[in-house]
Structure 1
Amino acid sequence: MQLYALGLNHHTAPLAIRERVAFQPERLDLALHDLTRGSAVREAAILSTCNRTELYFAAEQPQHAADWLAGFHQLPLNEVAPYLYAHPQRDAIRHVFRVASGLDSMVLGEPQILGQVKDAVRRAEEAGTLGTLLHKLFQSTFAVAKEVRSTTAIGANTVSMAAAAVNLCARIFERVSDQHVLFIGAGEMIELCAAHFAGAGPKSMTIANRTEARGQALASRFGAQTMRIDLVGDMLPRFDIVVSCTAAPLPIVGLGMAERAIKARRHRPMVMVDLAVPRDIEPEIGKMDDVFLYTVDDLAQVVDAGLESRQQAVIEAEGIIDSRVDGFLHWMQARDSVPVIRALRQHAENVREAEVERALRLLARGGDPQQVLEALSHGLTNKLMHGPTRYLNQAEGEQHADAGRIVRQLFNLPPQQH
């Protein structure tokens, strides 16, 4: 059984492709069960965010996974394949360690991805697709991410996607404090954005969410108002900044809605930030003269230019990850050896039981105890040495020297004297 990682991310695929293979939260359990149906894939977890869709799985061969990913989303494989990467065991382990540590993120060192990985693991565990191998992998992943964040400066001065959204708006408006902000959704990313915008002190903040209770809970934290999500179209002209991040399968803000809003605003500009995958805001809106529309890919252009100062931290983090990859592979190799160790110990136990039984019979017949013990020890020695001795005698050519070295190492024999 081997570990594999297969997927695409913001490095390999544009947003238009990423949103087509993103998994809706309500279909994730179905996807996990479908992926592990049959014997090809034994264990699986799916990580699906705005920047990446990745399958982590245990299988004998990885070929099935790419076909499955395209098929599940009803896409021709040739449309997806150019953007996919497939990592075999060592590379897969290293990849998930780097992802969780924030080294593979659009914003280097951002912490949100670790929570997203933990959510993916929780969903796989609840779906029953997280076996022993993946469970150990992700426990190691979380430990590595914690070590990287606590012992390096990888997270120092990190500009999150939420902070980048505020920076974008500050480029368009002279003062964010004069603007009215609408958040569509109430998930983790909206919560982060609300926290960053609250720091800029806008005139008002409003949260529109399908679940009213969740929207109110978030609004109460930041002194924001709430609004029914079905009123977004009517109320849109009142807002200068719109930040949207939901799990809706179809756009919430359409072109016609935006055109009506701009007309009602008498062409005062609006900033729209779409952090959702699939997109919440129709891409055509970005062509309007008075709307500045930004997607998750655009945010990469406005992150803080602090990468150079963090390069030493990256080197340190990569060193930690490489070391922990070796450690995890050692655990996997030791795990593979367990059946052999058990068989060897059982063989030795069978030999011991047979010799002890033979010695007891001799003693019961009145045999001399010293001679019986001598026979017992010789019997154990001969039977336990039979396998290694035959292995040495049957080795030929170059294998003979290798056999000698292996046996010397196994039994901790002194070096051969020349």
Structure 2
Amino acid sequence: MVDVFTFGLNHHSAPVSVRERVSMSGDLVRPALDALRSAFGSRLKEATILSTCNRTELYLAANPEIVEHVPTWLADFNTLDSSLITPHLYQYNQDQAVRHAFRVASGLDSMVLGEAQILGQMKTAVRAANEAGALGTMLNQLFQKTFSVAKEVRTQTAIGAQSVSMAAAAVRLAERVFGDIADTKVLFVGAGEMIELCATHFSAHNPKSIMIANRTLERGASLAARFDAQNMRLVDLPEHLHEYDIVVSCTASALPILGLGMIQKALRQRRFNPMVMVDLAVPRDIEPEVGSLSEVYLYTVDDLGRVVQMGNDARQAAVVQAEAIIDSRVQSFMHWMQNRNVVPIIQGLHSGSHKMAELELEKARKLLAKGVSPEDALERLAKALIQKYMHAPVQVLNRSQDEERAVMVDILPKLFPYQETEIAALIEQNEH
């Protein structure tokens, strides 16, 4: 039997210091899927990995016996002691796994309640699983339904109305230090989607200047052109870091790119004027020790999450509506899953019945070939089919005892409903 499971860590269950240890950037997802399937073989039918700055989740269609081994696999793959992640790891089975997927895609489980970015990230994860050959009928159906539910929630509720985004929260935190953003110079490290969102929010406040630092000038130049900004290579960052009051970083680097020594040098060059540093990356781009510097106001995704939470309370009425939609759609999907699990049984019953009928027909043909009258051959065929039809249920009923017999006495008339009254009705129908 194949069930649906979800394993994961997110901003609710684990601090960023733990999440960054299991985060899987885009180029790690394929090897992780391959390793996962290799570890569990045929017992794992399908898998999808969703990894963002706020969560790393495994969606699995698998035999239940592998469940207890998945946390160990996750720890081993990330070269971690399982005791580090186990206290923060959640597991959902069947309908709870389906509900979780629907809630995540709808923005109900996000740090920014109702945010839409997670839906695109989930679609990217599904494409990656499909390209890796790890996606099958079960999870494909789950995610297609998930995307449909997310669209329904956003269309029929106000879950995304007036949402306070992570980017907007970054601006608020910077304003607490500097007051007017128009008096500051802003540096963005990276050129991905999150940096683009942040640049949009900061540029609306007309800072003195905006700089984009990225590994490749081409990608940085493309983003800089949108915001009338300048761009530079990441390798040149240490020479110019001191020029900026606000630094927002979000790259896919596996190791910090802004270290304590680099920041200390920049502060000396700034004559110890304050800096606001916002680290939106997981794993982190800025060494945590930087936060101990009195002139630096360092904020992580978890810090921004607390600012975002203040705007979440106003949207709780929409959450109630969204949860009601999700509950209904979970029931619908579970009904599909249950029917799908029954299909092989029904196919087996049909196949067995056809084989039984073919055997008895062959016997009837041989009787006819030997000269037995058609009436006699048909009568023997009917009796043989009745015996085959009745053999299994009668055997089960005779062997059953106590509670099992009571169950069988209740079920068998429903499975074989042809009592005298039903037979009489069939005869009358046949005569007409």
With over 3 angstroms needed to count, the CA separation of the structure-2 counterparts of 1:403 and 1:169, relative to structure 1, is same
With over 3 angstroms needed to count, the CA separation of the structure-2 counterparts of 1:110 and 1:414, relative to structure 1, is farther
Shift of 1:287: 2.2
- Structure number with the higher helix fraction is 2
Alignment match, 2:7: 6
| Aligned equivalents of 1:61, 1:325: Cα separation in 2 | 24
| Aligned equivalents of 2:224, 2:138: Cα separation in 1 | 41
Equivalent residue for 1:176, pick from 168, 178, 181: 181
C-alpha root-mean-square deviation of aligned residues, in Å? Answer: 2.5
- State yes or no: 1:195 paired with 2:196: no
Alignment match, 2:288: 283
| Aligned equivalents of 2:368, 2:342: Cα separation in 1 | 39
With over 3 angstroms needed to count, the CA separation of the structure-2 counterparts of 1:186 and 1:413, relative to structure 1, is farther
- State yes or no: 1:232 paired with 2:237: yes
- Code of the aligned partner of 1:177: A
Q: Deviations over 1:121-159 (max 9, x none)?
A: 222222222233322222222222222222222111111
Alignment match, 2:19: 18
Any idea what SS the aligned residue of 2:108 has? coil
| Aligned equivalents of 1:315, 1:242: Cα separation in 2 | 38
Alignment match, 1:167: 172
In the alignment, structure 2 segments of 5+ residues that lack a partner are: 422-432
Alignment match, 2:391: 386
Any idea what SS the aligned residue of 1:61 has? helix
Any idea what SS the aligned residue of 2:210 has? strand
| Aligned equivalents of 2:419, 2:101: Cα separation in 1 | 43
Alignment match, 2:46: 43
Q: Is the 8 A contact 2:220 2:231 kept in 1?
A: yes
Percent sequence identity over matched residues?
55
Within 5 Å, give how 1:129-148 maps onto structure 2: 129-148=134-153
| Aligned equivalents of 2:388, 2:76: Cα separation in 1 | 57
Equivalent residue for 2:72, pick from 67, 76, 85: 67
| Aligned equivalents of 1:70, 1:415: Cα separation in 2 | 64
Q: Deviations over 1:192-239 (max 9, x none)?
A: 112222222223222111132222222223322211111111111222
With over 3 angstroms needed to count, the CA separation of the structure-2 counterparts of 1:400 and 1:82, relative to structure 1, is closer
TM-score normalised over the length of structure 2: 0.88
Any idea what SS the aligned residue of 2:12 has? coil
With over 3 angstroms needed to count, the CA separation of the structure-2 counterparts of 1:231 and 1:329, relative to structure 1, is same
With over 3 angstroms needed to count, the CA separation of the structure-2 counterparts of 1:414 and 1:109, relative to structure 1, is farther
| Aligned equivalents of 1:413, 1:395: Cα separation in 2 | 22
- State yes or no: 1:309 paired with 2:314: yes
Shift of 1:386: 3.5
With over 3 angstroms needed to count, the CA separation of the structure-2 counterparts of 1:380 and 1:413, relative to structure 1, is closer
Any idea what SS the aligned residue of 1:19 has? helix
Shift of 1:338: 2.0
| Aligned equivalents of 2:92, 2:323: Cα separation in 1 | 17
Within 5 Å, give how 1:4-403 maps onto structure 2: 4-38=5-39, 39=41, 41-57=44-60, 58-59=62-63, 60-303=65-308, 305-361=310-366, 373=378, 376-403=381-408
Q: How many residues align?
A: 416
Shift of 1:378: 4.9
Shifted more, 380-389 versus 280-289: the winner is 380-389
Shift of 1:376: 4.6
Q: Deviations over 1:100-132 (max 9, x none)?
A: 221111121111111122222222222222233
Shifted more, 392-401 versus 256-265: the winner is 392-401
In the alignment, structure 1 segments of 5+ residues that lack a partner are: none
| Aligned equivalents of 2:320, 2:328: Cα separation in 1 | 13
